Structure 1
Amino acid sequence: MRQIRQMLRLARDGVSAREIGRTLGVARSTIQDNLKRAATAGLAWPLAGDLTDAVLEQRLFAHAGVKSGFRRRVEPDWACLVCELKRPGVNLMVLWEEYRDAHPDGYGYSRFCDLYREFERRLSPTMRQDHPAGDKVFVDYSGKKLSIVDRTTGVVREAEIFVAVLGASNYTYAEATWTQTLPDWIEAHVRMFRFLGGVPRLVVPDNLKSGVQRASFYDPEINRSYGMMAAHYGVGILPARPRKPRDKAKVEAGVRFAQSYILGRLRRQTFFSLAEANAAIAAMVERINAHVMRRLGVSRRHLFETVERPVLALLPDADYQFAEWRLARVSLDYHVEFDGFFYSVPHGLIREQVDIRATTRTIELFHRGQRIAAHQRRHGGRRHGTDPDHMPSAHRRYAEWTPERFRRWGASIGPNTEGLVIVILANRPHPEQGFRTCLGILRLFKDIAPERAEIVAARAVAIGALTYKSISAIIANRTDRKTPTDDVVIDHPNLRGPGYFH
């Protein structure tokens, strides 16, 4: 419109159309056409001060509109072309060639592209993004929560809403989970892939801490467990840029749509379990996917079945089993700690760094990619889980010591020795504290005859000599050959003797 105004001013000054075109860099024929339009509209310089560019354009090109001027030829079904363009290998040139085959007198390629872009601009902002079929699925948690009531206590607990939207078809999946923690986050992905019946090329999450440990445009750091899940399905993880909602506009729109369909329509219902809530959400998701989109004239399910499902990768044979991965360093007792419990590794790996893979039932330990140990996961009881094969030989022998084994060793010598072992173990706060004493005493008894060992044991029990040092003194001083009364040196009325205390 600025050039139109300058053209009218030069024309009033008597400048020819050729000179005006040379001054403005426009063809003479265009100048002549515009001057004719101005004369027809009754416009001449100077123009009215309140004549805006929009009004000027309307008066000059009122008859060049879509219906009477520019679109005199047969147009294709633009909504159908939007769907076709999502198919792999399809572009505007292919669609234009098919259009010209059906309508030889139709629009040329450039005009065809202009009309398509004009139609595309009338779609929602998310639909104007280029999402090829089978390329991306956008995942996020809704900011709104669903209330679930405990039937027995009446306590209300809030559940999170997980939402996933496929890029090309807008096909939607949603479910409720108790939390946004890593186990719920990954299990929601597993159920999402099962719902889709296939795997897209990329998953685009928000920078949720459960999935992305360090947000970065250039080098985001994916959680190890989340990455293992992605490797199981052969899908890539492409986090959205921090504070860039346009990177995940598809799921942002899907979240809003899901909130109105799910939370809005279920707001008057009371749920007493997560399963009840998810059954109701599944019905709403079915309704979302069957809803016909106004601009395109087809449903999400139709687009998914015809455009997207055929190009999704196949699911693996088995669902991914959630496992949490952590790094740990082997301590000096050749154990690593996980969740308050300790698990052994081969003793040669002391001070080495290992990977822990923890499932609900097992703890697996890896060193440089090789599995070096596997334990049943402990949730209670003894805090140490030790494999005897991981111990040094000396430790292994010690680990084989038990109260029953010492009793059997004592019984092999005689009943008095067995009784001595029982008394020693019983007089310790923990039986393990008496193992070394029993071991030392049994070694002392190897150097004497079994008959004397029995006498020494009886003597030790009688006088309460329950340490290695005291029993060694009995053997060395040969006090086992004395009776308790032999210990009284002087017979005097003031000396009561040991018999007084029985």
Structure 2
Amino acid sequence: MANKTTDMSKIRKVLKFYSNGKSKLFISNYLSLSRNTVKKYISLFEVLGLSFEIINEKTDGELELLFSHTIEESVSPKLQTLQDYFPVMERELKKVGVTIYRTWEQYITLHPDGFQITQFRHHYKIWAKRVNPVMHMNHKAGDKMYIDYAGKTLSIIDKKSGEIKNVQFFVAILGASQYTYAEASMSQQKEDFVRSVENAMHYFQGVPAAIVSDNLKSAVIKSSRFEPTINETFAILPIIMAPPFYLPELISREINLW
């Protein structure tokens, strides 16, 4: 490399920590390496698309050569073609029923010598993180329950008549533990909606400090950035459901689920 190469034993530790989910800041502080050095080798590791186990089997010389070659070839014409395809792919993924596998099939038809599905997913994940950064949110146990309906309806068949009926798919999730409750209901009308929320709290065995909906018409009569008008039945539901012991029980339950 152009500059003095970092000790390969430290690079192995960088990649091991990163593979185990440690943050770049933690790795930088723990190994006394600059954040730019940590970022550089993690980026090269992601471009290579190899597992840490494979990387760790290589000698220091092989590892140094591998990273040197990767710096020179990090954006090959083949990879650049793939990255140029991703913006089109991302628009397609917003359509109902379109999957990553389906977009890969379209890509490989256009580029028969392109990346296979595993590498395709890997490079898309890296690209998506770069262009669509995700904000990390910290949640307290028992604090919030998020509710919404899945965008695509399901269907059931009446055993007696054989009639096919569409049903709504209600989902509730606890923010801290990601513990999830889901059920099908006949509609998103107030009665069905309130019953689903009530069932979720019975399932979680507690009432959260707050219930967060995504501007559902069943919950919010009139939307507003500052003072939305909430459905009265929905607004008083946590009060009706919450004896004094319910919130502590939910907090304890979420902590155990972690």
TM-score of the aligned structures, taking structure 1 as reference length: 0.26
Could you state the TM-score of these two structures normalised by the residue count of structure 2? 0.48
- Which of the two has greater helix per residue? 2
